[in-house]
Amino acid sequence: MTSVGRLLTARLGISILVLLGVSMLIFAIARVIPGDPARIALGPNATHEQVDKLRADLHLNEPIWKQYGYFLHDLSQGELGQSLYTNRPVTTDIAQFLPATLELIIVAGVLMIGLGLPLGILAAKHQGGTIDNLVRIIALLGVSAPSFVWAVILMLLFAFYLPLFPIAGRIAVEFDVPTITGFLLVDTLLDGQIAAFVDALRHIALPAFALALSGIGQAARLTRANMAETYHSPYIEMARSYGFPEWRIARRYAFKPSLTPSLTIIGLDFAAMLGNAFLVEAIFAWPGLSRYGVAVILRKDLNAIVGTVLIISAAFLIANLVVDLLIALINPRIRYSRGRV
């Protein structure tokens, strides 16, 4: 087995153990939260007999270890139980709400990489100059405020005062787009509806940018710091002495060694977006999984809470795994040293 294969196998094994531990932890926490899930689901007008029957159906009268055993049995069959909030299987709810959040996060991730890395490179090439100072101010502003604050600011600026973008939702009501992948930007193109694609792009622009601003600042600051340090390395001076153009030195000799720390932070920020998106989704009325997760927590929907947290945890672990593989492919020393572990 190659070093990358060994690294992938080790990371997958660790990820499975982490998911199992997360499921135990959130399962226990969800059941010690004050409030009776059966009473909350049925409402104050339900009789005691109805509440007792629902509690029996949910196995709430049995020890917690038995309840967890029922959960693992359902999970092994690809089921996460019934949602008390929507009265549908939790897997159906996740399949409906997850694509909207993933689409939002992917667009935000593209903005984070497409703006953060070039800004960091630009600042490093003009250290101490006006461009460098401007990029550092922009990066500091990005990381100094949470995403929901930027969401409100962007909504006020570009939806109210300058009505350039829509305020809420994923697409205007006059468009009828068939669900193919669940990603509106993809489905509109697959169905040949260019006007609907443009409208969906306008809807996603503000929430994605609000969600990405903090990551853009982090990526720009880290890339700038790493490249600034790399520019003082002896091999960079040697490349300059050979007369290599600055763009080649930046692209081939300075950027790649500086990319490893930036990739790590970008991967963590990308994974954290899934859990941090709930306020942005609430502000822009975005029908995603994070907004759904807040709703089920408020209603103490046990199955939906565990299912949502597991999906977010899995996304975080997958993002870390992808980052580890990318770093191993970029840096052979890391690849071979980890491959022997």
pLDDT tens digit at each of 341 positions of the chain: 566 667 677 777 887 888 888 888 887 877 777 766 777 767 677 777 777 777 777 777 778 788 888 888 878 887 888 888 888 888 898 988 889 998 999 999 899 888 988 888 888 878 778 888 898 888 888 888 888 888 889 999 998 888 888 888 888 888 888 888 889 999 999 988 899 999 999 999 999 999 998 888 888 888 888 777 777 777 777 777 777 776 677 666 667 766 777 777 777 777 778 767 888 888 888 888 888 888 888 887 888 888 888 888 888 888 778 877 777 776 666 555 544 44
Which pLDDT belongs to residue 333? 60
Taking residue 177's Cβ as centre, other Cβ atoms within 10 Å add up to 17
Q: Alpha-carbon distance 90 to 82, whole Å?
A: 6
Q: What contacts 122, CB < 8 A, 6 or more positions away?
A: 131, 135
Q: Alpha-carbon distance 98 to 93, whole Å?
A: 8
Taking residue 145's Cβ as centre, other Cβ atoms within 10 Å add up to 15
Q: What contacts 47, CB < 8 A, 6 or more positions away?
A: none
Q: What are phi and psi of 82, to 5 degrees?
A: -100, 140
Which pLDDT belongs to residue 339? 46
Cα 124 to the center of its chain, rounded Å = 28
State the number of CA atoms in the 13 A half-sphere of 338 facing the CB.
18
CB 167 within 8 A of CB 159: yes
The answer to whether domain 90-298 has CATH 3.60.15.10 is no
3-state helix, strand, coil in the chain (%, to 5): 75, 0, 25
Q: What amino acid occupies position 148?
A: F
Q: Alpha-carbon distance 329 to 323, whole Å?
A: 10
Domain with CATH 1.10.3720.10 in the chain: 90-298
Q: What are phi and psi of 193, to 5 degrees?
A: -100, 90
Which pLDDT belongs to residue 7? 66
Q: What amino acid occupies position 95?
A: A
Which pLDDT belongs to residue 197? 94
pTM of the model: 0.82
